[in-house]
Amino acid sequence: MPYADQDGVKIYYEETGAGMPMLFLHEYGGDKRSWEPQVRHFSRDHRCIVMCSRGYPPSDVPEDETLYGQDFAIQDALAVMDAAGIEKAVVVGLSMGGYTGLRLAIHHPDRVIALAAASAGAGSLTEGLQVFRKEAFERSEDYLEAGKMLAEPFANGPTRTQLKRKDIRGWEEFRDQLAEHPAIGAAYTLRHVQGGRPSLFDFEAEFNACAVPTLLMVGDEDDVCLDVNVWLKRAMPTSGLRVYAKSGHLINLEDPATFNAEIADFLRSVKAGTWPVREAFDGNYAGIGPR
């Protein structure tokens, strides 16, 4: 099995297909298996790489909690690209993976051809940041005390029941795979990657200057991410925003066909050089017309 070594921590990855490379970064509640509908589609004409973040088997699950954090997540993604011999890739990330993708785009733009960031931004809103961090710590304690990932309440969260409503079989598969996550990895990832990362609003200047073509994707019932993505659309001149109606956090699983088609259209536009940069407007405009 292929692994990337990041300072002694082994990060597992898999490759399928050939062509332009695509790196898929999973969410906190998922793993490499979460991207199966996307890999089946895009591997027909792309080189698809899925990885498991540290803490998610078959990647290493460090028992030292100081070995978890957002900086590690960024370096692990780059280490997988290096191990696979990939200089640049299209990055597709969901939630935790979408956050990492956004950080790659602003800090390592030379490695990113284009970015599709879905359901990113939880915990970024100022008014909810401390509650988010408190909740992340408390849930991490629950997992350590129970000695397992408490999958049932997590999978029934208010932004994940949309998948349950649309595709009960897919939701049950998500829940059952989630239950397999080890308590230590689930707890320390939640505590230090999710709960310990900066708000996306801290990088406003970097987003203003970002030149990576970016597709932002969010469900209209994903309350903790929706406003953040509207802000990102305004902050990133190279971004476009796709909002999915009656949808929650797991939009790649709720409607895989639409999700895949949207990314495919985005990539066709990027390849053709027709993904526009939004022009700045400095005049007065309240919705009627400039003078």
Cβ-count burial of 99 within 10 angstroms (0-12 exposed, 13-18 middle, 19+ buried)? Answer: buried
Instruction: Return d(Cα 140, Cα 193) in angstroms, integer.
Output: 11
Question: Which of 109-123, 124-138, 171-185 shows the lowest per-residue confidence on average (mean pLDDT)?
Answer: 124-138
SS3 of 108-165 = CHHHEEEEEEECCCCCCCHHHHHHHHHHHHHHHHHHHHHCCCCHHHHHCCCCCHHHHH
Question: What local confidence, expressed as pLDDT, does residue 12 receive?
Answer: 98
With a cut of 70, say whether residue 182 has pLDDT above it: yes
Question: What local confidence, expressed as pLDDT, does residue 291 receive?
Answer: 64
With a cut of 80, say whether residue 125 has pLDDT above it: yes
CA angle 252, 253, 254 (to 5 degrees): 100
Question: What local confidence, expressed as pLDDT, does residue 128 receive?
Answer: 83
CB 118 within 8 A of CB 93: yes
What is the average pLDDT across 161-187?
98
Token pair for 220: 């209209």
Sorted by where each starts, the structural domains of the chain and their CATH numbers stand as 3-125+199-272 (3.40.50.1820)
Question: What local confidence, expressed as pLDDT, does residue 126 receive?
Answer: 85
What 3-state DSSP class applies to 138?
helix
Question: What local confidence, expressed as pLDDT, does residue 129 receive?
Answer: 87
286: Cβ contacts below 8 Å, ≥ 6 apart: none
For the chain, give the percent of residues with pLDDT over 70.
97
Question: What local confidence, expressed as pLDDT, does residue 87 receive?
Answer: 98
For residue range 223-258, list pLDDT tens digits in order. Answer: 999 999 999 999 999 999 999 999 999 999 999 999
With a cut of 70, say whether residue 23 has pLDDT above it: yes
With a cut of 90, say whether residue 267 has pLDDT above it: yes
For the chain, give the percent of residues with pLDDT over 90.
93
Token pair for 98: 């979408």
Instruction: Return d(Cα 139, Cα 178) in angstroms, integer.
Output: 15
For residue range 44-88, list pLDDT tens digits in order. Answer: 999 999 999 999 999 999 999 999 999 999 999 999 999 999 999
Instruction: Return d(Cα 110, Cα 112) in angstroms, integer.
Output: 6
CB 86 within 8 A of CB 15: no
What is the average pLDDT across 128-146?
94
Top pLDDT among 202 and 289 is at 202
Residue-averaged pLDDT of the chain: 96
With a cut of 80, say whether residue 288 has pLDDT above it: no
Question: What local confidence, expressed as pLDDT, does residue 286 receive?
Answer: 67
What is the average pLDDT across 177-192?
97
What is the average pLDDT across 142-166?
97
What is the average pLDDT across 130-145?
95
Of 73, 61, 12, 20, the closest CA to residue 43 belongs to 20
What is the average pLDDT across 162-181?
98
For residue range 195-214, list pLDDT tens digits in order. Answer: 999 999 999 999 999 999 99
With a cut of 80, say whether residue 185 has pLDDT above it: yes
What is the average pLDDT across 116-141?
93
